[in-house]
Amino acid sequence: MKNKISIIGGGNMGTAILSGIQRKFAVSICEKDAKRGQYLKKKFKVAVDDVQSVVTKSGVIILAVKPQDFDQILAEVRPFINKDKLVISIAAGIPTLYIEKRLGAKVRVIRTMPNLPAQIGEGMTGICKGKWASSADLSLACKIFNNIGQTVIVEEKWIDAITAVSGSGPAYVFLFVECFIKAARALGFDEKQSKQLVAQTIHGSLNLLESQNEEAGVLRSRVTSKGGTTQAAMDVFFRRDIEGIFVEALTAAQHRAKQLSK
């Protein structure tokens, strides 16, 4: 029999998870916004119901609401949670201990940190377990999140660092693309040409990296002949300490994740 999973919160992330897992699991969803609920019901042919119904019927409950709605959702699900249920949270900054305390004794909790490309099945999700969850629970969580990309199991102390690398990471990539396009425009290309030149360069380079089984540095050196054009650009990047900028930025993100943690 298919595992029964309920998703509470049908926003960006809840919908991404729903769309990835609906063919493999029996999924029901709970969504506060009735219009959105109807849309999800129609689009994905899933059961949309209230908290009590979806939690009672499911063995796995995925909490996919914003951190500011989290206390309320914990209070709502608490009466229907027991040790037979596995609770999976995707909320940023909310530790397993916080959830365990609010849901009562020995509740099995898994905490995850997915990222935005989950929306197209290309996500990267960090997964850790709370005190009462088992390694079988971790495996089940991986099985679920592998449907929206890749997963990595870590101890909870690493989740802030995961947030800094892969959680926030898509924004670093988008920033890089923005800067690259602006620089192409500064050389005189129009918007359309700049976008095409940059997008295909990035697409091709990433595919090359993936297919060649070589370190990025090795491939970079293949494009960079001594005293040539690429070298001139690399000299600017390194003079401005691109490596240092990355370390500083990721450290700041990790620090902020720690600060925001409940």
Ligand X SMILES: NC(=O)c1ccc[n+]([C@@H]2O[C@H](COP(=O)([O-])OP(=O)(O)OC[C@H]3O[C@@H](n4cnc5c(N)ncnc54)[C@H](OP(=O)(O)O)[C@@H]3O)[C@@H](O)[C@H]2O)c1
Q: Does 74 participate in binding ligand X (rule CB under 6 A)?
A: no
Q: Does 148 participate in binding ligand X (rule CB under 6 A)?
A: no
Q: How many helices (H) does the chain have, and how many strands (E)?
A: 12, 8
| 3-state secondary structure (DSSP) of residue 136 | helix
Report the DSSP beta bridge partners of residue 28. Answer: 6, 47
Q: Binding residue for ligand X (CB under 6 A) from 81, 103, 116, 253?
A: 116
Q: Binding residue for ligand X (CB under 6 A) from 2, 23, 43, 66?
A: 66
Residue with tokens 């999973």: 5
Q: Does 90 participate in binding ligand X (rule CB under 6 A)?
A: yes
**Site track 1-30 with ligand X (rule: CB under 6 A), x = hit:** -------xxxxxxx---------------x
Spatial CB neighbours of 81, under 8 Å, sequence gap ≥ 6:
55, 61, 87, 103, 104, 107
CA–CA dist 199, 19 (Å, integer): 26
Size of residue set near ligand X by CB under 6 A: 28
Give the CA distances from residue 45 to residues 23, 37, 97, 211, in Å, rounded to whole numbers and listed in that order.
Answer: 11, 11, 35, 38
Closer to ligand X at the Cβ: 61 or 65?
65
**Site track 164-193 with ligand X (rule: CB under 6 A), x = hit:** ---x--------------------------
Q: Least distance in Å: CB of 16 to ligand X?
A: 8
Q: Return residues touching ligand X (CB under 6 A).
A: 8-14, 30-33, 36, 64-67, 69, 72-73, 76, 90-92, 113-116, 167
